[in-house]
Chain A
Amino acid sequence: MTMLHHSVIMKLSIRTMVVVALFCCVAATVKLVASDVRGLITDRKSGDPVSGVTVRLATTRLGAVSDSAGRFVIKNVPKGTHTIEFNRIGYRPTKIVATIRLDQEDVVCTLLPTDLQVQDVIVSANRRVQAVQDVPISVSTVSAVDLDQRNITRLDDALRYVSGVTVVKDQVNIRGSSGFALGVGNRAMVLIDGFPLMSGDNGDIKFDVLPVTDIEHIEVIKGAGSALYGTGALGGVVSLFTKKVTDQADMSARVYLGGYTLPRYASWRYSESIPIQGGADVRYAKRFGDVTISASAGIRTDQSYRDFDASTRGVLFAKGTWHMSDVSQLTLFGLYALHVGENFLYWQDLQHATRPPTSQDPDQMLQSEKAASALEWQWIADNHTSVIVRTGLFRTHFENTLNNVTLDSNTSTAYAWNTDVMVTSSLSNAFTLTAGMNGRVNSVSADIYGSQLQTIGSLFAQGEYAFPSGPIVTAGLRVDHEKTASLSPHLEYSPKLGMSWALSPTTTVRASVGRGFRAPAIAERYAKIRYGPFQVRPNPDLLAESSWSYEAGIHWTPADVAIPIDLDLAVFNNELFNLIEPRFDVNDPNVPIVFLNITRARIIGTELTVKSALSKALMFESGLTLMLPRDLVLNQTLKYRNNVLWYSRCIVKPVDPLSLQVEYRFQNRVENIDNSLEAFIPDADQRVPSHVVDVRAFWTFSTQSGAALQLGIIAKNVLDYYYTEAVANLSPTRSIALQIEYR
């Protein structure tokens, strides 16, 4: 049965790839004849050329990026009047209106530098390139500069300082959407270059598969995103984008080594020697004619601040793009990750918070493998229409071993196949239509889940209309059809409606309403497993959970003020229905945990984000999220949710090559957890507010060859503050690492 599932998926994947390849061959012959717009972009103050500027013809798919001489070319531009948009971090966004009459037109643009990074360009909100202010929902970005400056080694570290977001044991929680769910059924969709990386069995995110050195920027959409992304986007979407490859070879290598300081309490010192952590990453990228290649590899080993928690992870990533013509390209990427580690589930008790229960077998290990491959074809069909076809497969496998022998009681192999076809067309200067279809098949073979097949087919469409008076109105609908063995097929309708309105060059308001849903992960429906002291019982009748998200916000970037500042304020209300939560079934003789549609909940909140650059040498960012998460069935605070999240970051550059960074993260004490856990786990109720401070210092040298060598000291949790994010799991204690990077 399972082999049949996997065989069906493989055939579907191969068939789809063949169809895509045929399309590509046809498209490669298409070459439209129209005007070429050439341009030069310079810095208004210095007069120097500006490279890396994103140039986009408004309301079309046409665009370019300026080269090192500040020049760009946009081909096949229809004659007429166009608005050309210029965006680059470090400069004020600029628009110019140009009339294209000749076969070749020249455009000159000067950009005004600013210390404050404003008006990011994003892709995920409406699945096309837009300025962040033009979308009707809250979007946070972790820019390329951010990632570059912070030099992170794990991508969840980057998400931990996005306002409204928490990350607990690989589960991303956006504005309180997720609680504690034994690591399954994440309520935020995670994509890499548009391809979903959610496992087929647990429906969770695998951060260790993400190639950290290849990621250029991250976008986080807050609120239900199912109208475009379907199941899984109940709480939002985390979208990762890999780096663009240029003509010049781009090579980087990084090595880091450090350790955890010994804890203050003697009873927590499981070893008298300092636990070591270290790793290395290497990346190479270059363009060879019409083909661009990038490849990276990374390894990370961690002895951990807790006994029986050591792990080693490795990841390989490769991506190749064939630029078949000016209007079409074909991209293939693949990744592989391996994780071998001990399996710390929860503490013995608070007195022994760094040790697992004595009943846990120290020879038992957890091994997991993940592999993904995806093919994407992009085609600009004409001046206003583009097509993207994307298909790929994500395989995950995990098993428990005892003395290197696989234990039959806890293994799973899952395949998640995903295919997307999407068309974006600017039907007029004011109206853009995005429509497409999506198919997903999750196939699982596991002794703990059985042999399961879940298929979801979807159609979606979204229209955006820009009124001449300023407002941009978005309306969309997605229909998903889910089929599993245990339930009759059913439909989910996810509508959305939004509006953004630039009241002035400095002020934009937005409002949106949308429905989200999440089909239960196969693990939630069919798990029959022992998880530590818990028995988990299947519930094949589990239904999809859903939400309605309402949001209003204002974005304000005051001009001509002494201190550049960027403010964003949002108020939101998420109404959650049939929320899936794990509960103890006390009517069952074995008192198992069962995933049930039990809760009707409401999360009301507000979020304020402030960015400021006092000077080029001092930048500051702070985000405060206040929430009231209520369980409307039990009339109490929703379990495992925070009320207050406050993240702040400061970057100081006292002298040019030196960069000092301080980050502070506060989360209030989780008010409510399942008290029944105390019957199984000693001191399960022990929890405190989080006060975490991370500090980084980097010194960058330029070598004679033009490459940069960066030395860094990275200290995490420098206060050595002890707290929990997951029940009965002490969060990482203070660690200090030295890092050397060549790029």
Chain B
Amino acid sequence: MVRLFFLILCVFTVSCGGLDPESLPQTATVSGTVVIVGGRTAWPDSVLEMRVVLFDQKPSAPDSVIAAIVGNKAAYTDTLPRFVDSCTYSIAISKPPHTFTYAVVAGRTGPNLLKDWTMLALHTEESTPSVPATVVVMEGAQVVVDFNVDFAHLPEQPFQ
């Protein structure tokens, strides 16, 4: 009886199983620098917060920004610092590979979290600056995407 118990005990004391952080796909990141054209003095007071947002699909309406975030169809940063010349950002992509077709710096210009969003900078093709560029993130990749925010010349908005 005692032998049986200690046999069971030996089996049990072998550590095993369950959640494993090392089994997760190797985390990929999208990171870069956001440069404010004109420096810190160029910031208008009306921009209440600023984030980098990577959308699976180009948002079709103002409220699709939040819908995409809640619906896990976008990756995004915390609020980035305002009234600075530039700042860096980093977004961990939890389930690579992943393709984002619309990468922007988004600014909230009013109290309505749902609707008051303006695109401040757009990641575009080098050859055709008005066309959104796709960001493909493979497993373990460290993708760099930089933005220039020019408050005097905002990109074409996805919605009006």
Please, which residues of chain A bring their CB within 8 A of the CB of B66?
586, 589, 591
Looking at the assembled complex, report how far the CB atom of B108 sits from the nearest CB atom of chain A, in whole angstroms.
10
B19 contacts partner chain A, Cβ-Cβ < 8 Å: yes
A326 contacts partner chain B, Cβ-Cβ < 8 Å: no
B22 contacts partner chain A, Cβ-Cβ < 8 Å: yes
Output the nearest chain A residue to B9 by Cβ-Cβ distance: A695
Residue pair A676, B71 in contact (C-beta under 8 Å): yes
Residue pair A720, B19 in contact (C-beta under 8 Å): no
Output the nearest chain A residue to B69 by Cβ-Cβ distance: A679
Residue pair B16, A683 in contact (C-beta under 8 Å): no
Output the nearest chain B residue to A655 by Cβ-Cβ distance: B2
Output the nearest chain B residue to A267 by Cβ-Cβ distance: B21
Residue pair A590, B12 in contact (C-beta under 8 Å): no
Query: What string of 1s and 0s marks CB contacts (under 8 Å) between A316-339 and chain B?
Result: 000000000000000000000000
Residue pair B21, A718 in contact (C-beta under 8 Å): no
The range of chain A's interface size is: 35 or more
* Chain A 329-386 interface residues, beta-carbon cutoff 8 Å to B: 349-351, 353, 359
Please, which residues of chain B bring their CB within 8 A of the CB of A350?
19, 21, 24
Query: Among B16, B24, B112, B114, which residue has its beta carbon within 8 angstroms of that of A721?
Result: B16
B115 contacts partner chain A, Cβ-Cβ < 8 Å: yes
Q: How many residues of B contact A (CB 8 A)?
A: 33
Asked whether A590 and B113 contact (CB < 8 A) given A350-B24, A679-B70, the answer is yes
Query: What string of 1s and 0s marks CB contacts (under 8 Å) between A264-280 and chain B?
Result: 11011000000000000
Looking at the assembled complex, report how far the CB atom of B57 sits from the nearest CB atom of chain A, in whole angstroms.
16
Residue pair A676, B92 in contact (C-beta under 8 Å): no
Query: What string of 1s and 0s marks CB contacts (under 8 Å) between A704-743 and chain B?
Result: 0000000000000011111110000010001000000000
Please, which residues of chain A bring their CB within 8 A of the CB of B18?
688, 691, 721-723
Asked whether A720 and B92 contact (CB < 8 A) given A265-B22, A350-B21, the answer is no
A359 to B112, CA, bound (A): 24
Looking at the assembled complex, report how far the CB atom of A18 sits from the nearest CB atom of chain B, in whole angstroms.
55
Output the nearest chain A residue to B17 by Cβ-Cβ distance: A721
A618 to B8, CA, bound (A): 15
Query: What is the count of residue pairs linking A and B with beta-carbon distances less than 8 angstroms?
Result: 92
Output the nearest chain B residue to A734 by Cβ-Cβ distance: B15
Query: What string of 1s and 0s marks CB contacts (under 8 Å) between B1-16 and chain A?
Result: 1101100110011111
B160 contacts partner chain A, Cβ-Cβ < 8 Å: no
Name the prevailing secondary structure of the B interface residues: loop
Query: Among B12, B112, B115, which residue has its beta carbon within 8 angstroms of that of A695?
Result: B12
Residue pair A676, B70 in contact (C-beta under 8 Å): yes
Residue pair A589, B115 in contact (C-beta under 8 Å): yes
A61 to B20, CA, bound (A): 57
A723 to B18, CA, bound (A): 6
Output the nearest chain B residue to A661 by Cβ-Cβ distance: B5
Looking at the assembled complex, report how far the CB atom of A517 sits from the nearest CB atom of chain B, in whole angstroms.
32
Residue pair A591, B16 in contact (C-beta under 8 Å): no
Asked whether A351 and B24 contact (CB < 8 A) given A589-B113, A718-B12, the answer is yes
Output the nearest chain B residue to A722 by Cβ-Cβ distance: B18
B67 contacts partner chain A, Cβ-Cβ < 8 Å: yes
A587 to B113, CA, bound (A): 10
Residue pair B13, A588 in contact (C-beta under 8 Å): no
Q: Other than the known A349-B94, A654-B1, A724-B19, what 16 A-B pairs have Cβ atoms closer than 8 Å?
A: A350-B24, A588-B114, A590-B113, A591-B66, A591-B70, A652-B1, A679-B71, A682-B94, A683-B94, A688-B17, A691-B17, A693-B12, A719-B16, A720-B16, A721-B16, A722-B19
Seen from chain B, the residues whose Cβ lies within 8 Å of a Cβ on chain A are 1-2, 4-5, 8-9, 12-22, 24, 27, 66-67, 69-72, 78, 92, 94, 111-115
10 residue pairs from A and B, CB less than 8 Å apart: A351-B27, A353-B21, A584-B70, A586-B67, A591-B113, A662-B9, A676-B71, A688-B18, A718-B9, A721-B18
